[in-house]
Amino acid sequence: MSSILEKLKIYPAIAKGIYHYNFYGPPCKSWDLKTLITIYVARLLFGSYANLNAHRKKLVRDTDTSVKNSTTELVTIPNKFREKAYNLVKNHLRSVYGNDKWYDEESIWSNSSPLEPEWVIPAHLTKSSTSKAILYFHGGGYLMGGFSTYRSCLETLAQGSDSIVLGAQYRLAPDYSAPCQLEDALAHVLYLTSPVEESGIGLSFDQIVVSGDSAGGGLTCVLNHFMRDANIGKFAGSLVFSPWVDLKINHPSCTDCAETDVLPTLTGSDYELAENGELAPGMFKDVYHAVDPKLQSKMVERGHYLAPVEYLNSPIVSPLCDSNFRDLPPTLITSGEVEMLRDNSYLYQELINKSYTEEELSKFSIPPSTMHHYSEMYHDFAFLNPDSSTSDIAFKRAINFIKQCHNQKSSEFEEVKTNSPINLLKSDKCDDSSIPLKWKNLYLSTVNDHELVPFTPNYKRVEIQTWKGSN
């Protein structure tokens, strides 16, 4: 009976999509009925917080995917890597922020469940210290999600780039405050790069491309900034889809694109009371009423569902608010024109570009940052509708990026660069020399022919609240 009721809850979303399509037409001209229904159903799946723990399990079950020509292997991250990651982050908090107690003793790694990531290994490959690898962090607003949703799409990336994929697991909010998620991400890195005789995989950073979508894309960027600042190392590349890199403020696209995106509201994620003394409407209130009283108290104490509110614009929560965007891995950003996190993407791209001079940019074998902005596309479109022609070209470009990153130090790099262009289907009319520095390597992928053309994002913008240190 419960499964029938669950399906019945989805039917109104489908009916709403059909009604809107037939009577008002699609919000974007290129959208067919299937796309509009996908939007409405996804909003229902992602925005239902009636019971967060139950919703997490349901979401993973309902969106589970399988592999076709690969094997999967569930592993457990050894505790010694978790402990080392905890100490590295703790020391960083103490030295940079003057406070290493962002959460209580109950949330320490040793009091939490084991980390159990999953390998996806294409049939023609084996897992070894010579493998080329992708470390992937799933999305879900730091609240929900799991790698099983991404198996099928990540198999596509793995097969195309001759890589093995480790789908990471990390602790979720509001149960666990930041920087627990960073600690878990770093534990995966230590597992991948430690010698085989020490229970690691024995990879070098040059063999690893780190990737993620949405909150997982944000965590990917957090990890990159932290590893640079802590002198741990630098990945071969960083591939992010619709990354959430600023939790401090809501940029204009969070409201301007609300009717064309799959995401529920992103506004009101801080603890705030309305005039009547009740919680103000928004994300904080929705999550608050979906958890037990103990977690509710933690959220109020924090002032935010993910992190202590005074650190929301710190680089290890919101990397867009960092003051340093140099010396990061080569980054490919994939975003949608009509998604709520649109502004996060192009501003992050812009800040990386502006941190270099024209002369410096010209010397990189792979640009520090490239962004593909897909016309009329919504948040995480490549994963939500992987069979579309737009998603297909997005994955092909991502595969080419991974290939180039893995071969940067190879004698075959120039051949790989020629045969596997990151900017696949780039317009012959592109005159990159005339593009302003801040918008270098920023392209719009057109709707019909998927051609990449130069793009100047003249959107409304608000000031980024760059981290200036603890008060």
Which tens digit of pLDDT belongs to each residue from 295-322? Answer: 999 999 999 999 999 999 999 999 999 9
Instruction: Return d(Cα 363, Cα 264) in angstroms, integer.
Output: 42
List, as one string, the DSSP characters of 307-366. S-GGGTTSTTT-GGG-S---SPPPEEEEEETTSTTHHHHHHHHHHHHHTS-HHHHHT-SS
Most confident stretch, 8-22, 91-105, 219-233 = 219-233
Q: Which residues pair with 210 in a beta bridge?
A: 135, 238
Instruction: Return d(Cα 378, Cα 394) in angstroms, integer.
Output: 13
Instruction: Give yes or no for residue 7 having a pLDDT over 60.
Output: no
Instruction: Return d(Cα 443, Cα 439) in angstroms, integer.
Output: 9
Q: E strands, 1-113, where?
A: 70-74
List, as one string, the DSSP characters of 250-284. --THHHHTTTS-S----S--B--B-TTSSBPSSHH
pLDDT of the residue at 466: 97
pLDDT of the residue at 50: 64
Q: Which amino acid is at 10?
A: I
pLDDT of the residue at 10: 75
Q: Per-residue confidence at 119, pLDDT binned at 50, 70, 90?
A: very high
- For residue 340 the two structure tokens come to 């709520």
Instruction: Give yes or no for residue 6 having a pLDDT over 60.
Output: no
Give the residue numbers annotated as catalytic, written as ranges.
214
Instruction: Return d(Cα 192, Cα 332) in angstroms, integer.
Output: 22
pLDDT of the residue at 471: 56
Strands 118-122 and 70-74: antiparallel
pLDDT of the residue at 250: 87
- For residue 418 the two structure tokens come to 């020629």
CATH of domain 70-249+316-454: 3.40.50.1820
Instruction: Give yes or no for residue 430 having a pLDDT over 90.
Output: no
Instruction: Return d(Cα 360, Cα 431) in angstroms, integer.
Output: 19
Instruction: Return d(Cα 259, Cα 266) in angstroms, integer.
Output: 13
Strands 237-241 and 208-213: parallel
Instruction: Give yes or no for residue 440 having a pLDDT over 80.
Output: yes
Question: What is the rounded average pLDDT for all residues in the chain?
Answer: 93
pLDDT of the residue at 38: 85
Strands 237-241 and 331-336: parallel
Residue range 339-376, pLDDT digits in tens: 999 999 999 999 999 999 999 999 999 999 999 999 99
- CB neighbour list of residue 78: distance below 8 Å, 6 or more residues apart: 191, 199
Instruction: Give yes or no for residue 9 having a pLDDT over 70.
Output: no
Interval 213-227 mean pLDDT = 99
Instruction: Return d(Cα 416, Cα 219) in angstroms, integer.
Output: 29
pLDDT of the residue at 3: 40
What share of the chain in percent tops pLDDT 70?
Answer: 96
Instruction: Return d(Cα 234, Cα 315) in angstroms, integer.
Output: 17
Q: Which amino acid is at 235?
A: F
DSSP label of 304? B
pLDDT of the residue at 1: 32
Which of 379, 373, 353 lies closest to 438 in space, CA to CA?
353
List, as one string, the DSSP characters of 153-193. HHHHHHHHHT-EEEE-----TTTS-TTHHHHHHHHHHHHHH
Interval 119-123 mean pLDDT = 98
pLDDT of the residue at 14: 86
Which of 470, 434, 424 lies closest to 160 in space, CA to CA?
424
**2-27: buried (b, 16+ CB within 10 Å) or exposed (e) per residue?**
eeeeeeeeeeebeebbeebbeeeebb
Q: Minimum mean pLDDT among 22-31, 32-41, 183-192, 203-212: which range?
A: 32-41
Q: Minimum mean pLDDT among 222-231, 284-293, 317-326: which range?
A: 284-293
Instruction: Return d(Cα 37, Cα 317) in angstroms, integer.
Output: 33
Between 85 and 456, the higher pLDDT residue:
85
Strands 164-167 and 118-122: antiparallel
Q: Per-residue confidence at 204, pLDDT binned at 50, 70, 90?
A: very high
Cβ contact 263:379 at 8 Å: yes
Domain spans of the chain? 1-47, 70-249+316-454
- In 3-state terms, what secondary structure has residue 367? coil
pLDDT of the residue at 48: 67
